[in-house]
């Protein structure tokens, strides 16, 4: 026994052997275990926490969430339909092409999704979706594996905005907008028509698109000057908008939704085409939206 050991720390066991009390501190092996768990926990923590938008996809519904998102989330019917030419004056069931979309992969942090769509008879669409701080980017590759021309003219991602706008079918139109020669124009201030095979909604067709190949809903004589369509949030603090590098139509739908329906223009046998789109969630600043759009799609002109 070390005679210098303080008396309170010295003692003998029942066998007469001396031992020294050690002050009660955290056992080293437990300390290492705690540190390891903390490190593992931090490494597995979702990287998307408070860093912008995140996504999930199931049963053809793409759900987008983010900090301060009015209505908590935005749902996109992804995808609603693939369409043939000659759609304007024809029954909708004769226009749509059977298709099926499946999830290929999804990052745990909700930042990246990969999907695959098979469009009858032989078209395959590969989708890569990437969520950023305030936008979601869509990159698509469409390939016709068949030996015949595929009349896949355009398709529909349907963005449901009832929760975001806080409005119903009758009242969300004044909260929605496109850009015309007058600048940002809410849809209630556009020239609107009512006659069509199917009543309700309004179709806005860019210059250069055949009016025989769009939605069989009422077509406005108002021409959009760019590929943006959007809406304002219920509290007026934010806007939601979408754009693609090739647009068939902008559409105010009939289930409290807005569309920028991308143009494919058909696929020859063995042909591959690529498309790129964006969904923006921004502060209510139309000037900023235009700047972002022109930066993202510098070659897109009416």
DSSP string, 110-130: SSEEEEEEEETTTEEEEEEEE
Q: How confident is the model at residue 49 (pLDDT cuts 50, 70, 90)?
A: very low
Q: What is the mean pLDDT of residues 116-143?
A: 98
Q: What six digits make up the tokens of 210?
A: 């055949």
Task: Give the pLDDT of residue 157.
Answer: 98
Task: Give the pLDDT of residue 28.
Answer: 52
Q: What residues does 138 pair with on adjacent strands?
A: 129, 277
Write down the residue that tokens 């809903």 correspond to: 217
Short-list 165, 130, 157, CA closest to 76: 157
Percentage of the chain with pLDDT > 70?
Answer: 82
Task: Give the pLDDT of residue 51.
Answer: 84
Q: Is residue 210 scored above 90 in pLDDT?
A: yes
pLDDT in tens, 13-37: 443 444 444 444 445 555 455 444 4
Distance CA 212, CA 123 (A): 23
Q: What is the mean pLDDT of residues 169-190?
A: 97
CATH pick for 54-296 out of 2.70.98, 1.10.10, 2.30.30, 2.60.40: 2.70.98
Compare 135 and 39 and report the one with higher pLDDT: 135
Q: Is residue 211 scored above 70 in pLDDT?
A: yes
Task: Give the pLDDT of residue 29.
Answer: 52
Q: What is the mean pLDDT of residues 225-237?
A: 97
Q: What is the mean pLDDT of residues 190-196?
A: 97
pLDDT in tens, 64-91: 999 999 999 999 999 999 999 999 999 9
**Contact by Cβ (8 Å): 172, 229:** no
Q: What six digits make up the tokens of 298?
A: 């510098």
* Mean pLDDT, rounded, of the chain: 88
Task: Give the pLDDT of residue 27.
Answer: 56
Q: What is the mean pLDDT of residues 115-136?
A: 98
Q: What residues does 126 pair with on adjacent strands?
A: 116, 141
Sign of CA dihedral 177, 180, 182, 188: negative
pLDDT in tens, 97-110: 999 999 999 999 99
Q: What residues does 177 pair with on adjacent strands?
A: 186, 230
pTM of the predicted structure, to 2 decimals: 0.83
Q: Give the Å distances, CA to CA, from 190 to 71, 115, 204, 221, 224.
A: 27, 36, 10, 9, 10
pLDDT in tens, 264-275: 999 999 999 999
Task: Give the pLDDT of residue 46.
Answer: 42
Convert 164-203 to b/e letters by CB count within 10 Å (16 or more is b). Answer: bbbbeeeebbebbbbbbeeebbebeebebeeebeeeebbb
Task: Give the pLDDT of residue 118.
Answer: 98
Task: Give the pLDDT of residue 180.
Answer: 98
Distance CA 34, CA 261 (A): 53
Q: What is the mean pLDDT of residues 185-206?
A: 97
Q: Give the start-to-end residue ranges of the domains of the chain.
A: 54-296
Percentage of the chain with pLDDT > 90?
Answer: 81
Q: How confident is the model at residue 301 (pLDDT cuts 50, 70, 90)?
A: low
Task: Give the pLDDT of residue 222.
Answer: 96
């Amino acid at each position: 026994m070390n005679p210098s050991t303080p008396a309170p720390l010295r003692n003998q066991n029942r066998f007469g052997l001396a031992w020294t009390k050690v002050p009660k501190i955290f056992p080293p092996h437990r300390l290492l275990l705690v540190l390891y768990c903390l490190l593992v926990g931090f490494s597995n923590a979702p990287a998307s926490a408070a860093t912008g938008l995140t996504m999930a996809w199931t049963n053809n519904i793409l759900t987008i969430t983010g900090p301060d998102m009015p209505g908590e989330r935005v749902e996109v019917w992804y995808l609603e339909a693939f369409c043939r030419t000659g759609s304007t004056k024809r029954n909708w069931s004769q226009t749509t092409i059977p298709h099926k979309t499946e999830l290929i992969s999804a990052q745990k942090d909700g930042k990246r999704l990969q999907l695959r769509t098979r469009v009858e008879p032989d078209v395959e669409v590969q989708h890569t979706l990437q969520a950023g701080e305030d936008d979601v980017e869509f990159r698509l590759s469409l390939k016709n594996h068949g030996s015949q021309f595929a009349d896949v003219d355009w398709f529909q991602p349907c963005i449901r905005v009832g929760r975001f706008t806080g409005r119903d079918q009758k009242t969300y139109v004044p909260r929605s907008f496109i850009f015309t020669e007058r600048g940002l124009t809410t849809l209630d201030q556009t020239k609107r028509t009512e006659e069509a095979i199917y009543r309700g909604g309004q179709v806005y067709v860019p210059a250069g698109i055949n009016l025989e190949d769009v939605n069989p809903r009422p077509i406005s004589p108002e021409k959009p000057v760019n590929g943006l369509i959007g809406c304002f949030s219920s509290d007026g603090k934010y806007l939601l908008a979408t754009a693609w590098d090739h647009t068939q139509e902008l559409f105010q739908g009939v289930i409290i939704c807005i569309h920028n329906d991308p143009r494919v223009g058909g696929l020859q046998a063995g042909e591959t085409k690529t498309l790129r789109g964006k969904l923006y969630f921004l502060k209510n600043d139309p000037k900023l939206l235009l700047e972002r759009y022109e930066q993202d799609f510098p070659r897109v002109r009416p």
